[in-house]
Structure 1
C-alpha cells in the first residue's frame, strides 16, 4: 500500500471540486468544512483509486466515500446498480442509505436501496426490478439476491466495505470474499475499518489495486471539566429505579439521557414525566421541525430532560446541559465520547454517569483506554440521602412561600387557633399533611440483606465440594448453559451435534439472515439432536418466524421459545475447547465451520424496538 500525505488541506467542500447539487445539500445540512478523512479521501475516490481508510466511527467516513461517488454518478431513469456498499449490520445499512439520500437530495432520478435480513423480500425484489443506482446491504442478504439473480454485479463500478473489522467479528469475512470474487475485475474498491487486523490487510492486498492508505487518529480525549462515573445495575426496571434516585439526588440544570432504541425514548420520557419532571423524547421518528422545537425548549428552560438516541442527538449543542446519563452503554467508544461531549462545554463543569451491567465490564475498560481516564464507581444514592434531600427541598419551599404575601392565611390560622385552642404548629402540621396528600413525603427504608461469615464459609465449602466432584467424576451429569440471564430468553433449535452443528453455525445463521448482531447473542448449548441459544428478551414474532426457516447445513432451525427448566446432560469427550452440552458464551472465542466469531452475552433491548 502507498501512503499519501496532502500538503494542502482543502478548506471547504467547494475546494474538493464537488458538483453544485451536492454543495447545496451540504449547505442545507449545516456542513461547513470537510473533516480530515473527508479532505484526504475524497480526491482519491473521485480519481477512481482504490483506498483504505482507517478511521473510527464519528470521523465522517460515510461522507468521505458517499460524496465522491455521488459526484461521479450521473443518475438516469434506466437505473442499474453502479455502487455496492457492504455493512455489517442492518442499522448501519439504513444509516448509510439515508446519508446517500441526504447528500443526493438535489440529484434527479437518484435511487438508493438498503437490503438486509429480517425484511420482506418482495419490496426489495420490486425495487431492484425497477432499477437502483446504489445498493447498501448486509453480506448475507446481498448474497441471497445475487444467487436469486435479482442483483447483478456486472454493472458495479465501485464496491465499498464499511466497518470491515466488524464484519470480521460477526463472521462475514468468507461472505465478503465471495462477493468480491463475483464483482467485475475492473472496479474500484474502498475499504474502511477502525482497526487493521491481518485478515483485513490480507483482503486489501488480495482484492485492491495499489490502494492509497489514509489513517486518521480519532480524538479520544474528553474534556477535563467532565466528571465521569458508573453505577452497576441490570435490567430495565432496575435502571429505572436507579434513574429515579439519581434525578432526586443530583442537582442538575439540563440533562441528556441516552438510550439505544426509539421506543425506549418514549417509554422512559413517559416514566420520568410521571415523576414530575419536565421531560421529552428525541428520536429519529420525529419530524425535523418537532426535533428542533424540542431542542429549543431545552435551551429555553421549558424542558429539563431529554431522552435521546445517538442519531437524534448528533450535533446537539445546549450549554445548560450539566448532566449526561448513559441509560444504555453505547456500542463503541466513539459514541460514548460524543455523548458525554454534550456537557462540560464552554469551560463549564459537567457530570457523566454510566449505567453498567456486570457483563459490560469489558466495554467499560475499552472506554477507559480510549478516553485515557479512569471512570470511578458511583454508589446509588441511598434512601436516607434521598429523604434528606426531600426534607431540605420541602423546607426551601416553605421559605420561598413565606417570602410572598401570606397575610390572609396568617389571619385565618390565628382565628382557627383561637377558636379551637390549638397550637399553631399543630395546625401547620395538619396543613402540611393536607398539601402532601396520600403520597408519603419520605421513602421507606428497606432492610439490607447482610451475608454472614458462616454463610460465606458454607458457600466456599460447597463450591470446593462441587469442584472436587467435577474433578473426580468428569462424566457425571451437570447443569447445562446455566439459568437464563436477565434481559434474555432461551430458544430451542431442532438441530444438534448429530447434524454437524457448531456454535459458529448458529451465530452466523442468526446474524446473517435475521440480522441480529452477535452482541445480542447469549449462551449456546449443543446437544445430540437439538441446541439452545439465548436471545434478547421480547423478540417479536416476525423475527422468530424468520428464524424458524433459517437453514444450517441444509436443515431448517425450527426455532421456538424454550420454557423448560435448565436441562442436564452427561459430559462427553470432545475435540473442541468446550464439551457438547456446555455453554459456549460468556465472551469466549470459538470457531464455527467456516466463521470465527464471538458472543459477548449482553442484555440489550429486543431488536424489534429499534
Structure 2
C-alpha cells in the first residue's frame, strides 16, 4: 500500500501529536524538551507503521524530519538489557552518520543507559572496538566500515532487530550497492527494515523487493515554499557568540516586533532574561507557559509594549501579529518544514519581512536543504561592524536630544538650573551638557571601540569556508585548483569490468579518507584497475585508512603507482566525471630504461 502525503506549504497543519502516534514516556519527554510538538508529514505517516512492525519504504527529501521518523520508533522499543546491537542505520557519508547519531542521542536524552555508536572511516578502530566490547544498542555507520567490522568479526549483528537505510539513493550513487546488499544478507531475516530515499529509481525498488517484507510505501510530496516578501539571510556564528551577535544585530536592524526561535523551553527563559539585562523588552513563550500569560505576552507585542518574543516552535504556531518585522532563528531547525513555519510568522498578508538564521560552522549543510525547500537562496550577511553600531547609537542619541528639546515645558526649568551651575562654577555650557550626557549614559560607554572588536574577527573567521579557516588547510594559501605537480598517481584494484565510475571512486575515497573534492586529480579507469591522482603530500595515515576501502564490494588495495603515466596516452576522467586527454595524440617512443628506472615487470593474472 502506498500513502501519498503533501508536506506543509506554510499553512497550519492539522496533525496528531506525537503521543497520538504512539510515542510515550521518556522519548516523548525528550522530544518535547527539544521543542517538538507537531510531527512532520513523514513522521506522522511513518512512526505508526514502524511501531506496528511494518517494513517501510519512504520517499522524502532531506530535511523533512525523517531522522525522527525512524529514530523514535527504534528508541520506543529498545531493550536496554540487550548489549549486542539492536539497530543498525546505514548512511552514505560519515557527516550524515554523525548527524543521525547526534539525533539519536538527543531523542534518548531522558532515557538512562542508551549507547549509540558512530562507525565510519577516518576514525581509529580502537575507539569503535572498545565501545562495541562494552555494549552498544544502536550503530550508525557507513557501509565500508561496517563491512570491515563484519569481516573482522568485531560487529555482532546476530540479534539485530531494526535496520535503516538512510538516503539509499545516495548510497547507490556512491557505489555502495553491493556493500549494502552484503550487509543486509548477513543480518537476521526477521529484522524490521526501513528504507528512506529522496528518489525511488529502479535499483532501489529491486533492493526493496529483495530485502523488505511487504513494505508499506510512504511518499511525501514537498511543497514547502515561502512567501517571496520575506528576505532570508544567515550569519555563520559559533554557539558561544550567538547572544553577542544577536545584540549587535538588534542594535542596527530597523525592527518593529521580533520573534527569536530557540530549540528548548529552558532556552526561551534564559535568552529572554539575557536580552532584558541588555535593555530590550523581551518575554519567553513556550509550551509550559500558562495560556493566560502567553496571550498577555502576544497582546503586549501587538500593542507595542513588548518588542521581542523568544519562542519554541510549538508556542509560535498560529501566531499572526502585524508588528512582526523580523524572525530570527537563534537555533536553526534541523528540518525544513519547521524553518518554513518559523519564518512564515513574518511577511504575512502582503507585508514584507526579514528572516535571519544563525548557523554554526557544522550546520552549513542545512543551507542547501533550506534553499531547496524555499526555492530561495539565503544571503550570507556580515556581522554589523562597530562603526555601524556607533552610527546607530549616535543617531538615537541625536533623536533623544531632539525629542527632549521639543518638550519645551521641562526644558525651561532645566535651562535655569544649568545657568545657575555655569555662573557659580565658571564652566562652559558645552562641558556641562557633556557631563550631563555622561550622567545619563551611566557606566556603559556610548560608543564601541573599533580597535577592540574581537567579536567581528571571530565571526568573520567562522563565516569563511572551511578550507580558509585554521586547521589542516591553514598551512599555506591554496590555488583554486592544484597544478599537475601537486598530485601523485595511486593504483586501486577496481576497474571497468567491476562497473566502477569516477563518482564512486571519489565518493568512497573522500568518505573513508576524509578527502575533499579538490584533493582529486585525474582518474583513469582501466579494465582491471584504475589510476587516481591524489595529493603528492598525502598523509601516510590517510593512505593506511584507505587500504581497506571497498568499492562495489571489492577492496581497492590502494598503492602508489610505479608506472610512467606521462609516457602513455591516457583517456581519463577528473573528479566530476568529465573526460579529457592527458597528452596529445602523438606517442613518445618508450625506452626500456626511461628515467633511470628499472623495467617494469609484467603483471601476471592470478
Measured against the shorter chain, the TM-score band is 0.5 to 0.7
In 2: Cα distance, 1:102 partner to 1:231 partner: 25
Deviation at 1:192, TM superposition (A): 1.1
| 1:203 pairs with 2:207 | yes
Matches within 5 A, 1:417-456: none
Deviation at 1:214, TM superposition (A): 0.5
Matches within 5 A, 1:349-388: 350-352=353-355, 370-372=373-375
Equivalent residue, structure 2, for 1:52: 57
RMSD value, Cα: 6.1
In 2: Cα distance, 1:132 partner to 1:364 partner: 33
Matches within 5 A, 1:522-561: 522=518, 524-525=520-521, 531-532=534-535, 547=542, 549-552=544-547, 553-555=556-558
In 1: Cα distance, 2:415 partner to 2:38 partner: 65
1:297 to 251, 257, 273: 273
In 1: Cα distance, 2:126 partner to 2:260 partner: 38
Distance 1:87 1:485, change over 3 A: closer
Deviation at 1:92, TM superposition (A): 4.1
In 2: Cα distance, 1:387 partner to 1:110 partner: 51
Equivalent residue, structure 1, for 2:181: 177
Matches within 5 A, 1:168-567: 168=172, 172-223=176-227, 227-229=230-232, 249-252=252-255, 291-297=267-273, 302=278, 315=313, 322-324=325-327, 337=340, 340-341=343-344, 350-352=353-355, 370-372=373-375, 389=392, 392-399=395-402, 410=415, 414=419, 486=468, 496-497=488-489, 499=491, 505=505, 507-514=507-514, 521-522=517-518, 524-525=520-521, 531-532=534-535, 547=542, 549-552=544-547, 553-555=556-558
Deviation at 1:335, TM superposition (A): 7.7
Distance 1:573 1:223, change over 3 A: same
In 2: Cα distance, 1:577 partner to 1:332 partner: 36
| 1:576 pairs with 2:572 | yes
Deviations 1:399-458 (A, max 9, x none): 3566697889856764687799998569868998999999989999xxxxxxxxxxxxxx
Tell me if the contact between 1:230 and 1:355 (Cα under 8 Å) persists in the aligned partners.
Answer: no
Distance 1:546 1:352, change over 3 A: farther
- Stretches of structure 2 that go unaligned for 5 or more consecutive residues are 6-13, 237-244, 283-309, 360-364, 452-465, 494-501, 524-530, 548-555, 580-606
Deviations 1:28-83 (A, max 9, x none): 6665554433333234323433211112345442333233334444442x422222
Equivalent residue, structure 1, for 2:83: 79
Equivalent residue, structure 1, for 2:240: none
In 2: Cα distance, 1:533 partner to 1:245 partner: 45
In 2: Cα distance, 1:385 partner to 1:20 partner: 50
In 2: Cα distance, 1:378 partner to 1:163 partner: 31
Deviation at 1:129, TM superposition (A): 1.7
In 1: Cα distance, 2:522 partner to 2:20 partner: 58
Distance 1:249 1:109, change over 3 A: closer
Deviation at 1:215, TM superposition (A): 0.9
Deviation at 1:351, TM superposition (A): 0.4
| 1:161 pairs with 2:165 | yes
Tell me if the contact between 1:523 and 1:533 (Cα under 8 Å) persists in the aligned partners.
Answer: no
- Stretches of structure 1 that go unaligned for 5 or more consecutive residues are 234-241, 259-281, 307-311, 357-361, 445-483, 536-543, 558-568, 579-583, 592-610
Distance 1:573 1:213, change over 3 A: same
Deviation at 1:216, TM superposition (A): 1.7
In 1: Cα distance, 2:63 partner to 2:158 partner: 33
In 2: Cα distance, 1:442 partner to 1:340 partner: 34
Distance 1:139 1:344, change over 3 A: farther
Equivalent residue, structure 1, for 2:129: 125
Deviations 1:296-343 (A, max 9, x none): 33686857699xxxxx99738678974357899999966864664575
Distance 1:575 1:64, change over 3 A: same
Tell me if the contact between 1:87 and 1:136 (Cα under 8 Å) persists in the aligned partners.
Answer: yes
Deviations 1:163-196 (A, max 9, x none): 3244456554454333223333443321112333
> How does the TM-score come out when normalised to structure 2?
0.58
Tell me if the contact between 2:55 and 2:215 (Cα under 8 Å) persists in the aligned partners.
Answer: yes
Deviations 1:267-313 (A, max 9, x none): xxxxxxxxxxxxxxx89xxxx7863432333686857699xxxxx99
In 2: Cα distance, 1:128 partner to 1:149 partner: 11
Tell me if the contact between 2:393 and 2:446 (Cα under 8 Å) persists in the aligned partners.
Answer: no
Tell me if the contact between 2:86 and 2:161 (Cα under 8 Å) persists in the aligned partners.
Answer: yes
Tell me if the contact between 1:317 and 1:342 (Cα under 8 Å) persists in the aligned partners.
Answer: no
DSSP 3-state at the match of 1:215: strand
Between structure 1 and structure 2, the one with the greater Rg is 2
In 2: Cα distance, 1:118 partner to 1:149 partner: 19
Matches within 5 A, 1:11-160: 11-13=16-18, 15-16=20-21, 32=37, 34-76=39-81, 78-90=82-94, 92-101=96-105, 110-160=114-164
DSSP 3-state at the match of 2:184: helix
> How does the TM-score come out when normalised to structure 1?
0.57
Q: Count residues in correspondence.
A: 479
Comparing 545-554 with 51-60, greater Cα deviation is found at 545-554
Deviations 1:454-497 (A, max 9, x none): xxxxxxxxxxxxxxxxxxxxxxxxxxxxxx97556579999733
In 2: Cα distance, 1:425 partner to 1:549 partner: 74
